[in-house]
Every structure is written in C-alpha cells, then in structure tokens.
Amino acid sequence: MSALSLDPEDWIPHRAPFLFIDRLIDIEPGVRASGEWSLTGEEWFFAGHFPGRPTTPGVLMLEAVAQVGAVAVLSDERFVGRLPLFGGVENARFRRQVVSGDTLTLVCEMSHLSARGGKGHGRATVDGQVCAEADLLFILANTS
C-alpha cells in the first residue's frame, strides 16, 4: 500500500487565504486525521482581531479542525468526489488564546460516518494545551 499524501491541497479544495492546514501529520482514512497550522503574524485576520493584541479567532480554529476532519473523510475511498459541509457545531469550548508564533496541532476523529454525512470530535492544541474543541456535524454534498 502506498503512503498517503500529507499535502492538504491533495485532499481538500480549500486554498489560501482560507486553507488553515500547513501540513498534515497523520491520516487514518475514515477515522481520523491530524495536522498543523503555524501562525506567523502575517495572517489577514490579525490586523483587525484585535489591534494591539492580535488573537486567532475561535471560529477559524474550528474551521481548521473541520478541514482536518474533511481530510479524514475524503481520504476514505467511499467519499471520493464528495464535499463535507458544516451541518452544525456542538459543545464548542475555547480555552486558550492563540497568538502569532503559536503552532496549532489539529486533530479530528470521526465518531459517525454515513453516505449522507457524519460527526466528529475535534480539538486544537498548542504545546499540549487545549485551545478549542467541539463536536462537528457535517453533510456530504456532491461536487457535480
């Protein structure tokens, strides 16, 4: 069996400036995926969130976790050619600010997958400290 690509652009359609995964660490198709997002301080949102105290928006951390979850789903051959879209966010918690220089470790584990959608639990951490976590619900759309 050949190794899976760890380039996020090989798995999901997101592109800059809305691709938040710099690199994938691990992919277990249909089960889980992990990756990293390194914040340089040059990101487009820091100038306005917040001037004088640049902080990564929590919703973007959840989007980054969802992107890793999309890799877990789309790497499963049953879902090739589909597009996972947010169906809901439950139990979201934000526990630590993320600032320039931080590297987020992103993990999303699927708890349910079907032909129509699924659910996963994701978290974003910095140096082992949880910054954000949530249960993510998604639907699977056709791309054609």
Q: Tell me: the pLDDT tens digits for 120-138?
A: 999 999 999 999 999 999 9
Looking up tokens 């592109």 gives: 15
Domains within the chain, CATH numbers bracketed: 8-142 (3.10.129.10)
Contact 37, 96 (CB under 8 A): no
Output the six-digit token pair for 97.
């600010």
Beta bridge partners of residue 107, listed in sequence order: 34, 123
User: How do strand 32-38 and strand 82-94 relate by DSSP bridges?
Assistant: unpaired
CA 115 vs CA 46, 94, 141: distances in Å: 38, 31, 10
Is residue 112 annotated as a catalytic residue, yes or no? no
Global pTM value: 0.96
Percent of the chain with pLDDT over 70: 99
Alpha helices in 16-82 (DSSP H): 58-74
User: Which one is catalytic: 14, 49, 112, 121?
Assistant: 49
55 CB burial (10 A radius; 0-12, 13-18, 19+):
middle
pLDDT for position 2 = 54
Write the pLDDT tens digit of every residue in 35-83.
999 999 999 999 999 999 999 999 999 999 999 999 999 999 999 999 9
Looking at the predicted structure, is the pLDDT value of residue 1 above 60?
no
